[in-house]
């Protein structure tokens, strides 16, 4: 497919859950011991750098067919620390594009974070903040999870706000964890309201792995009446970004303020899942599923258990 025909400048904004991108060092403060040379996953430097290479080879392809260029910025999830993020932007695939990054340490028990990568020549960073999500478990103790990362910058000279998310998982079942994702939605709404208090016409992008689908209570609560979610249409087509028990889920989404559909400096063009064949299992009962790094303890050497998602934007 050729790039979209347009007299306006086009940009790609993407999100990619990188599936447990840990370094090989056992950090005593986090639950990462499986991802070490002597751990259950037998996670070695060779495997680590092979994954870095694979993931970054994907990043430089997202949206290129439609826009013609490497993404302007990419939100990422499941990275262990700043050193891992640096290895990404210094890889042979990303280095030529002079990516900057924003990463802050959260209190997540597993030590996995969100981060924001941006092309310095296209996106001008203005500010960034991390917003912790305070939760409690069934015993009243603090339940640690990822922060919401708020990045403010200029795209084509116009200020936009990007909120990068990785909401609490469904590992113990959606019924037991729904309220945690509702709390995450409420936190994001409070950030949005604070942004709008300073500028009622602010253009806001909310991206991430929400561990809920477009029509879930938490996402609908977040969307309110001032955001729109192009991934509702994609969900209606039966598409997803990850699988469980042979069922597709659309947890990865990019949600935007309504003014991206209006006569504003940056406009929404389209949204999509980047699910090229090379990112999928090519045989067996999992054929067509995301080609992941591990299947249980078995190292497959794939990419991620999630497909990336992206939106095409245009500057007026």
Query: What's the pLDDT tens digit per position in 212-264?
Result: 999 999 999 999 999 999 999 999 999 999 999 889 999 999 999 999 999 99
Question: Does a structural domain hold residue 138?
Answer: yes
Question: Does a structural domain hold residue 17?
Answer: yes
The per-residue pLDDT for 208 is 98
| 3-state SS class at 53 | helix
Q: Tell me the pairing of strands 73-79 and 9-21.
A: parallel
Two tokens, residue 99: 């990516």
| 3-state SS class at 219 | helix
**66: Cβ–Cβ under 8 A, 6 or more apart, which residues?**
1, 3, 4, 10, 12, 270, 272, 312
The residue-averaged pLDDT of 28-55 equals 91
User: Which DSSP string corresponds to 9-48?
Assistant: EEEEEEEEEEEEE--SS--TTTT-TTSSTTSTT---HHHH
Write down how long the chain is. Answer: 316
Considering just the CA atoms, what is the radius of gyration of the chain in Å? 19
Question: Does a structural domain hold residue 284?
Answer: yes
Q: Which of 255, 248, 199, 209 is nearest to 228 (CA)?
A: 255
The per-residue pLDDT for 89 is 98
Query: What's the pLDDT tens digit per position in 52-111?
Result: 999 999 999 999 999 999 999 999 999 999 999 999 999 999 999 999 999 998 878 888
**38: Cβ–Cβ under 8 A, 6 or more apart, which residues?**
none
Q: Which residue has the higher pLDDT, 27 or 95?
A: 95
The per-residue pLDDT for 106 is 86
Q: Tell me the pairing of strands 158-166 and 203-209.
A: parallel
The per-residue pLDDT for 232 is 98
Question: Does a structural domain hold residue 4?
Answer: no
3-state helix, strand, coil in the chain (%, to 5): 25, 35, 45
Two tokens, residue 125: 């960073």
How far apart CA 183 and CA 189 sit, in angstroms, is 10
Mean pLDDT of the chain: 93
What range defines the domain where residue 133 resides? 9-309
For residue 16, name the pLDDT band (cuts at 50, 70, 90).
very high
* DSSP 8-state secondary structure symbol assigned to residue 95: G
Question: Does a structural domain hold residue 2?
Answer: no
Two tokens, residue 25: 């060092």
Question: Does a structural domain hold residue 265?
Answer: yes
CATH number of the domain residue 205 falls in: 3.60.10.10
Two tokens, residue 64: 């290129």
Question: Does a structural domain hold residue 295?
Answer: yes
How far apart CA 219 and CA 208 sit, in angstroms, is 11
How many structural domains does the chain have?
Answer: 1
How far apart CA 107 and CA 105 sit, in angstroms, is 7
How far apart CA 76 and CA 63 sit, in angstroms, is 16
Structure pTM? 0.95
Two tokens, residue 309: 């998602």
Question: Does a structural domain hold residue 1?
Answer: no
Query: What's the pLDDT tens digit per position in 126-177?
Result: 999 999 998 877 666 777 789 999 999 999 999 999 999 999 987 655 557 8
Place of tokens 């794939």: 302
Distances from the Cα of 88 to the Cα of 25, 128, 270, angstroms: 17, 20, 27
How far apart CA 220 and CA 299 sit, in angstroms, is 37
**Bridge partners of 166?**
209
For residue 1, pLDDT over 50 is answered with no
Q: Which residue has the higher pLDDT, 108 or 312?
A: 312
Query: What's the pLDDT tens digit per position in 113-126?
Result: 999 999 999 999 99
How far does the chain reach from its first CA to its final CA, in angstroms? Answer: 23
Q: Which residue has the higher pLDDT, 179 or 143?
A: 179
* DSSP 8-state secondary structure symbol assigned to residue 168: P
Query: What's the pLDDT tens digit per position in 260-309?
Result: 999 999 999 999 999 999 999 988 889 999 999 999 889 999 999 999 99
């Amino acid at each position: 497919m050729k790039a979209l025909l347009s007299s306006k400048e086009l940009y790609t904004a993407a999100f990619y859950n990188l599936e447990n991108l840990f370094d090989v060092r056992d950090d005593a403060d986090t639950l990462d011991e499986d991802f070490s040379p002597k751990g259950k996953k037998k996670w070695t430097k060779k495997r680590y750098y092979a994954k870095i290479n694979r993931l970054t080879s994907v990043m430089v392809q997202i949206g290129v067919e439609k826009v013609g260029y490497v993404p302007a910025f990419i939100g990422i999830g499941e990275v262990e620390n700043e050193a891992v993020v640096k290895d990404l932007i210094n890889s042979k695939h990303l280095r030529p594009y002079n990516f900057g990054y924003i990463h802050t340490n959260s209190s997540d028990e597993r030590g996995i974070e969100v981060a924001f990568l941006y092309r310095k020549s296209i996106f001008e960073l203005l500010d960034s903040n991390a917003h912790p999500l305070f939760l409690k478990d069934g015993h009243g103790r603090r339940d640690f999870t990822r922060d919401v990362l708020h990045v403010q910058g200029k795209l084509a000279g116009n200020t936009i706000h990007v909120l990068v998310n990785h909401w609490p998982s469904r590992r113990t079942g959606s019924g037991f964890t729904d309220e945690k994702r509702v709390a995450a939605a409420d936190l994001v709404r409070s950030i949005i309201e604070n942004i709008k208090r300073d500028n009622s016409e602010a253009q806001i992008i909310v991206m991430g792995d929400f561990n809920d689908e477009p029509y879930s209570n938490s996402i609908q609560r977040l969307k309110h009446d001032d955001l729109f979610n192009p991934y509702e249409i994609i969900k209606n087509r039966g598409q997803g970004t990850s699988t469980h028990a042979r069922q597709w889920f659309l947890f990865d989404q990019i949600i935007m303020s309504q003014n991206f559909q209006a006569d504003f400096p940056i406009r929404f063009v389209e949204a999509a899942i980047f699910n090229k064949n090379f990112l999928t299992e090519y045989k067996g009962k999992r054929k067509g599923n995301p080609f992941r790094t591990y299947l249980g303890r078995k190292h497959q050497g794939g990419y991620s258990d999630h497909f990336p998602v992206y939106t095409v934007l245009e500057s007026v």
